[in-house]
Structure formats: structure tokens, C-alpha cells
């Protein structure tokens, strides 16, 4: 009964399109990081891998719980009071915020490590 919301293609594309594109980009970063770590075993390979995995986890959870429609489903279909719906949505918002913040911090650390590893003295 919970999966009976009928949506047109444009609505689904606008709701999940950016998330799917970010997931594709995260998969590319993950493959790149794994290749770099296996070939050269640089330190930043691990941080890139963890960063992309955290971002992928956030996006998979976002799609799997159908976050854009979660409030509607909780209130209308399950009949929960609005205060509980807001509490659940805020909790999920903090979960996504935490995962994305941790991923961004690890990505910045990776960029700093890449810069320090490959910094060379250049002659003009």
C-alpha cells in the first residue's frame, strides 16, 4: 500500500535525477580511488574510498526511503500526527547531514593529501 503513489516521469526525474547523477559521479571517484590505491598505495586513496562510500550510502538511503515523499506517506497513508512526521523528517535530515559532512571532510583531506604528495619544485 505504501508504494502506490502514482507519479509521472518528470516528477520522478526532478526528484531523483540529481541524486542518481551524484551516485554515478561517486562511483567514478570510487573506481578511481581503488585503482590509485592498488597501483601506488598512496594515503589519499583510502580517504577517497571512504568519502565516496559515505556519499553513496547517503544517496542510496535517500532513494530507498523515498525521502521526497516520506512526509506525505507518513502523514496521509499511515496517519501519523504532524509532530511525529516532523520529528522523523528532521532525524533523517540530520542523518543525511552527518553523512554528507563526513564525506566532504574526507574529500577535503584527500585533496590536501594529493596536493602534498604531488607537490614538486617547479622551475619557471
Do 88 and 70 meet the contact criterion of CB atoms below 8 Å apart?
A: yes
The predicted pLDDT at position 101 comes to 96
How many other C-beta atoms lie within 10 A of the C-beta of residue 55? 24
Compute the distance between CA of residue 2 and CA of residue 97 in angstroms, rounded to an integer: 26
Q: Name residues of the chain where pLDDT drops below 50.
A: 1-2
Question: Any residues with CB less than 8 A from the CB of 51 and at least 6 apart, and which?
Answer: 29, 103, 104, 106, 107, 110
**Domain residue ranges in the chain:** 9-117
pLDDT of residue 1: 46
Residue 53 to residues 24, 26, 74, 106, Cα–Cα distance (Å): 12, 8, 29, 11
Give me the pLDDT at residue 25, please: 93
Indicate the length of the chain as a whole number.
124
Instruction: Name the pTM for this structure.
Output: 0.81
Amino acid at each position: 500500500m505504501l508504494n502506490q503513489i502514482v507519479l509521472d516521469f518528470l516528477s520522478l526525474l526532478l526528484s531523483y535525477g540529481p541524486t542518481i547523477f551524484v551516485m554515478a559521479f561517486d562511483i567514478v571517484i570510487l573506481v578511481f580511488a581503488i585503482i590509485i590505491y592498488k597501483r601506488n598505495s598512496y594515503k589519499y586513496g583510502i580517504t577517497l574510498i571512504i568519502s565516496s562510500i559515505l556519499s553513496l550510502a547517503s544517496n542510496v538511503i535517500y532513494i530507498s526511503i523515498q525521502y521526497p515523499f516520506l512526509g506525505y506517506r507518513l502523514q496521509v497513508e499511515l496517519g501519523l500526527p504532524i509532530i511525529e512526521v516532523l520529528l522523523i523528517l528532521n532525524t533523517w535530515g540530520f542523518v543525511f547531514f552527518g553523512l554528507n559532512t563526513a564525506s566532504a571532510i574526507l574529500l577535503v583531506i584527500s585533496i590536501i593529501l594529493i596536493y602534498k604528495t604531488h607537490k614538486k619544485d617547479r622551475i619557471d
